Amino acid sequence: EAQVTQNPRYLITVTGKKLTVTCSQNMNHEYMSWYRQDPGLGLRQIYYSMNVEVTDKGDVPEGYKVSRKEKRNFPLILESPSPNQTSLYFCASSYKRDAYEQYFGPGTRLTVT
């Protein structure tokens, strides 16, 4: 089944404790992206990747890191999480960047206390 998976689905952590949210797709997609969704603010792009080893900042990259060492994986790293990073996070992928639908993962609900 074609899908985007994220882990963990739920995470409660404390300020400053490094964490990684994994994202994997099995559709051989070139383009991958991370979003955060907050009430009243909609979806905002954090980072995106056009292909392996090619990543770039989205609209709200501060406090996040990503890597794209393999085509299928695009982990999101929070080196020192803070409470303002409490949010619902989505990974998405598409065949290419232009004019293709994005497939979304199920989301990761992160709470930083």
Which residues bind to another protein, rule: CB under 8 A? 4, 33, 35, 40-45, 48, 50, 56, 58, 88, 90, 92, 97-99, 101-107, 109
14 vs 59 by CB, closer to another protein: 59
Q: For residue 83, give the DSSP letter.
A: G
Burial class of residue 2 in the structure, from the number of CB atoms within 10 Å of its CB (0-12 exposed, 13-18 middle, 19+ buried): exposed
Q: Measured from the CB of residue 20, what is the shortest distance to another protein in angstroms? A: 19
Distance (Å, rounded) from C-alpha 16 to C-alpha 25? 29
Bridge-based pairing of strands 108-112 and 10-13 is: parallel
7 vs 14 by CB, closer to another protein: 7
Q: Measured from the CB of residue 82, what is the shortest distance to another protein in angstroms? A: 23
C-alpha 9: how far from its chain's center?
12
18 vs 96 by CB, closer to another protein: 96
20 vs 45 by CB, closer to another protein: 45
Q: Measured from the CB of residue 54, what is the shortest distance to another protein in angstroms? A: 10
Kindly state the tokens that stand for 2: 């074609």
